[in-house]
């Protein structure tokens, strides 16, 4: 163990008066801060926020957005990326419509079998929020005006087989585990919703936070639960 680590252990565990005194002094020093100066620090905060926003906007406009657009097979207008650029993995083609908002803290992945690319279609005016994970097995279609809140998972493929020995051998998942996902117009998936392979969610339906959708849902309903069931019509 290094000297610093030994010193920390001594401070925390030694019962001597010296160790306790040193510990209190060091803890006191750690919590020292300058007092807030009423005019100075609010001005400094505004300057800091302006500079941060300015640099983030320059990176978004000049770097992240054109890089991400170069990965698409369409050229959407009014694409708004924030927090960087989504991570794109696997063999995946992506179509995107206009006026979409996409978090850079999200992952788009494609399952490739026999050289065929998976296909992700995103319509117009779609929100893909932070920590979304869109795993495309064959195809995933997200129609116009869909809203995906934070931590939504569209699980078009699992990535591993069910059999433990096959997983240990590093074999891929089976075709029976893979399926398309379709989110019709105006669907809203709240925070933490997971949608399994082979599911279609009807137009205008809302799925409550934390739900897992394992079967098709009709249009115009509120669904919730594990597995998600229709709660009421909207």
For residues 97 and 126, the answer to whether their CB atoms sit within 8 Å is yes
Distances (CA, A) of 88 to 26, 106, 108, 112, 138: 46, 9, 5, 13, 16
For residues 229 and 212, the answer to whether their CB atoms sit within 8 Å is no
For residue 46, count CB atoms less than 10 angstroms from its CB and return exposed for 0-12, middle for 13-18, buried for 19 or more. exposed
Query: Which of 48, 91, 119, 160 is labelled catalytic?
Result: 160
Q: In the numeric block, which tokens belong to residue 196? A: 């399994």
Length, in residues, of the chain: 234
Verify whether residue 160 is a known catalytic residue. yes
d(CA 124, CA 146): 9
d(CA 230, CA 74): 36
Q: In the numeric block, which tokens belong to residue 177? A: 């585990």
Looking at residue 89, the DSSP 8-state letter turns out to be: E
3-class DSSP state for residue 218?
Answer: coil
Residues 6+ apart with CB under 8 A from 13: 19
Active site residues: 160
């Amino acid at each position: 163990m290094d000297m610093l680590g030994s010193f920390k252990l001594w401070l925390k565990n030694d019962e001597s008066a010296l160790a306790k005194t040193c510990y209190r002094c060091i803890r006191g020093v750690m919590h020292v801060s300058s007092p807030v100066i009423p005019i100075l620090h609010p001005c400094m905060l505004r300057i800091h926020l302006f500079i941060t926003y300015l640099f983030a906007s320059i990176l978004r406009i000049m770097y992240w957005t054109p890089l991400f657009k170069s990965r698409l097979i369409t050229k959407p207008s009014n694409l708004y990326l924030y927090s960087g650029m989504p991570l794109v993995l696997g063999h995946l083609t992506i179509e995107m419509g206009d006026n979409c908002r996409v978090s850079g803290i999200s992952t788009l992945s494609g399952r490739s079998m026999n050289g065929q690319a998976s296909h992700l279609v995103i319509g117009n005016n779609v929100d893909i929020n932070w920590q979304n994970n869109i795993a495309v097995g064959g195809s995933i279609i997200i129609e116009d005006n869909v809203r995906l809140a934070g931590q939504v998972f569209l699980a078009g493929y699992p990535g591993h087989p069910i059999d433990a020995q096959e997983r240990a051998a590093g074999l891929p998942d089976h075709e029976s585990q893979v399926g398309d996902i379709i989110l019709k117009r105006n669907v809203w998936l709240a925070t933490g919703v997971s949608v399994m392979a082979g599911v279609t969610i009807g137009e205008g339906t809302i799925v409550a936070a934390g739900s897992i959708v394992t079967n098709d849902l009709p249009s115009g309903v509120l669904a919730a639960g594990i597995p998600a069931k229709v709660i009421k019509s909207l």
